[in-house]
Amino acid sequence: MLQITNLNKSYKSIIVLQDLNLHIHTGEIYGLLGANGAGKTTTINIICNLLKADSGNVKINDQSVSETTKKIIGIAPQENLLYQTLSCEENLNFFAKIYGLNRETRQRQIQQTLTSVNLLDRAKSPVETLSGGMRRRLNIAVALVHQPQLVILDEPTTGLDIESRYEIWELIRQLKNQGVTVLLTTHLLDEAERLCDRIGILKHGHILAEGSLPELRTLIPASEVILVQTSQKEQAIARAAKYGFTPKYYGNELAFWLSEPLELKEIIARFEGIELDSISRKPVSLEHIYLEVTQDSKL
């Protein structure tokens, strides 16, 4: 569906994208992860033909990016792009007209899109009267009204409460079920873990790692992670070293990577004599992989 090859972009002396390669398959949900300033929005703007790359190639369905490929894409930008005093259906009508939909198709699509984002009962409400979650769903509706094959969602759930997040996650899953390809950027690693078929980790405009979660898990030599709360951190680390557990800090939290899974009682036995406030085991998550990949890189 989308092939990005050796993409480069700089703003004067600031290199934003460096030999970016990224391939998104038809019908998948692809998560693009990266710290603030990694180049996600720049990449999206190039895909949407809103910005020109310095070099490299972007192909959508084997066509180079152009005004024609714009119609295949629907974008929901980070900042809601909505007219506050217009109603939900007036907003959708405005954007549907820009995409050249005729009156009859517009009417049908507006109803259908409002239904899919669960806003049909607010069709006549001005945007300024909607909650933050509703506005975000309407922002996504704008991206869907012309039935694009590729939908780009730039941080669709940032700042939303958990119920609103669930609604948007469900909407994204429905898009996938309808065969729509989704490119999602997010800083929420659990969101990417729940939704994405494949994930790309971007740093300084370069993909450091890409794959499904099981594929990414193979990048770090841990089968599970043990979280330990103790006032005797140094002793715990020294003891863990005897058993080949690798110490890691996640923020202030002390953790150990285990290369082979162990029963919890066996793990506790290894720390005998050290005062533990709590100990728990977790599977290797995207958070562990993301931190390792981005901290390890020389970029």
39 lines the binding site for ligand ATP (CB under 6 A): yes
Q: Is 128 exposed, middle or buried (0-12, 13-18, 19+ CB in 10 A)?
A: exposed
Return the number of the residue (156 or 220) whose C-beta is nearest ligand ATP.
156
Phi, psi of 218 (to 5 degrees): -70, -10
Cα atoms found within 13 Å of the Cα of residue 169, Cβ hemisphere only: 17
Tokens of 144: 């869907």
Rounded distance, CA 292 to CA 131, Å? 37
Return the number of the residue (37 or 244) whose C-beta is nearest ligand ATP.
37
Return the number of the residue (135 or 203) whose C-beta is nearest ligand ATP.
203
Q: CB of 45 within 8 A of CB of 51?
A: yes
Nearest C-alpha neighbor of 285 from the set 234, 236, 216, 231: 216
Return the number of the residue (42 or 113) whose C-beta is nearest ligand ATP.
42
Sheet holding 55-60, edge to edge: 14-24, 2-11, 55-60, 63-64
Q: CB of 4 within 8 A of CB of 49?
A: no
- Of 18, 41, 223, 229, the one binding ligand ATP (CB under 6 A) is 41
Binding mask 13-32 for ligand ATP (x = CB under 6 A): -x-x----------------
The nearest distance, CB 9 to ligand ATP, in angstroms, is 8
Size of the site for ligand ATP (CB under 6 A): 11
Stretch that binds ligand ATP, among 8-16, 114-122, 142-150, 284-292 (CB under 6 A): 8-16
- Of 13, 36, 252, 295, the one binding ligand ATP (CB under 6 A) is 36
34 lines the binding site for ligand ATP (CB under 6 A): yes
40 lines the binding site for ligand ATP (CB under 6 A): yes
End-to-end, the C-alpha distance of the chain in Å comes to 28
Pairing of strands 253-258, 55-60: unpaired
The nearest distance, CB 33 to ligand ATP, in angstroms, is 9
Q: Kindly calculate the radius of gyration of the chain based on its CA atoms and give it in whole angstroms.
A: 23
Stretch that binds ligand ATP, among 36-44, 159-167, 173-181, 223-231 (CB under 6 A): 36-44
Q: CB of 73 within 8 A of CB of 60?
A: yes
The nearest distance, CB 248 to ligand ATP, in angstroms, is 25
Return the number of the residue (37 or 221) whose C-beta is nearest ligand ATP.
37
Q: CB of 191 within 8 A of CB of 284?
A: no
Stretch that binds ligand ATP, among 33-41, 133-141, 248-256, 280-288 (CB under 6 A): 33-41
Q: Which bin fits 35, alpha (ψ -120 to 50), beta or left (φ > 0)?
A: beta
37 lines the binding site for ligand ATP (CB under 6 A): yes
96 lines the binding site for ligand ATP (CB under 6 A): no
The nearest distance, CB 39 to ligand ATP, in angstroms, is 4
Binding mask 42-61 for ligand ATP (x = CB under 6 A): x-------------------
Query: Which parts of this chain interact with ligand ATP (CB under 6 A)?
Result: 11, 14, 16, 34, 36-42
